[in-house]
Each structure stands twice: as C-alpha cells, then as structure tokens.
Amino acid sequence: MNLENRIGFGYDVHQFVDDRKLMLGGIEIPFERGLKGHSDADALLHSICDAMLGALALGDIGKHFPDTDPTYKDIDSKILLSEVNKLVEAEGYKLGNLDSTIVLQRPKLRPYIDEMRKEIATILYCNIEQISVKATTSEWMGFVGEEKGIKVISTVMMVKK
C-alpha cells in the first residue's frame, strides 16, 4: 500500500469526576469538574491520537501508551500527541487536516476553541487552518446529556511528506 492520502477516525469517551481539572485540546477549561483517566484525560487529544494512528493502521493509543503503565499516570496528553506525530512522521506522513467534534452538555467551549486549535497546531507543526474543532451538546439525552461524561470524534487526512 503506497497511498498519497490516508484517512483516520478516532473516538474517545471520559467520565466526569469532581476532583480533577478539565483538560481539552491541551488547555485547562474552567469548570467545576474534570475528566477521569489514567493520563490527564484529554479526550480531544486522545481521539486525535487514535485518528492519526488509525490512518496509518498503527494500532491505537492503548497499544502505544498502555493505561497499566505507570509512566503515563497523569501524563500531559500533549506529550502523547507529540509522540504519535513522531510515529506518523517516521512512516513518511504528516497531517493534512483534522476535524473534531466534542460532544458535551456543559461547559460552553466556544470561548476556548481557537486556543485549542492553536495548541494542537503547535504540537503537530502545522497551520491553525488545518485544525477544525467543533462542539455540540447531546440535547440532554444519554450519558452526555446527563452530564456523566463527554465524547469526542475526530477525523484526519494524513498526507505523504
């Protein structure tokens, strides 16, 4: 397989808890609750990692950074995304574009979207125009609507360097 472009899909879910910071897209979002996880639980960055790995059939985030490994306890997910970027670069690819949707009931993310895009673009050495981050609610339905957690869906196009 020697494709010029490869698409990838990532999905992540994390549960809200009381005693953690809310980290999304590499930044801290002011909110009364945070997300539970072995790492800093940045579901947006995790879904991007999975989408990039998936595009090149390199497995998933759990394969590369097992949640049983103490090395990754409370780790900054920006480090994980940076490591994933190195893996795809080693395969001869770079990000073409990324499109993510964060599904959560609260807080409203609009004021933080551009800061997240900038953060992701910095980690992936690309332009902010290549990074799309969107947010929507679940209309008060299901586990997202009940504010038990959030989910994030990401798609990427990886292009040959």
Binding site for Mg ion (CB under 5 A): 12, 46
Closer to Mg ion by Cβ: residue 41 or 110: 41
* Residue 6 Cβ vs Mg ion, minimum distance, rounded to whole Å: 22
Residue 12 beta carbon to Mg ion: minimum distance, rounded to whole angstroms = 4
- Tell me the closest approach of the beta carbon of residue 46 to Mg ion, in angstroms: 4
> Closer CB to Mg ion, residue 21 or residue 160?
21
- Contact status, residue 47 vs residue 152, Cβ threshold 8 Å: yes
Q: What is the dihedral sign for C-alpha 108, 116, 156, 64?
A: negative
d(CA 37, CA 15): 8
Closer CB to Mg ion, 12 or 119, in the complex: 12
Q: Locate tokens 């010029």: which residue?
A: 4
Closest distance of CB 14 from Mg ion, Å: 6
Q: How many Cα atoms are found within 13 Å in the side-chain-facing hemisphere of 103?
A: 20
Pick the closer one to Mg ion by CB: 46 or 151.
Answer: 46
State whether residue 10 is helix, strand or coil.
Answer: strand
CB-closest chain residue to Mg ion: 46
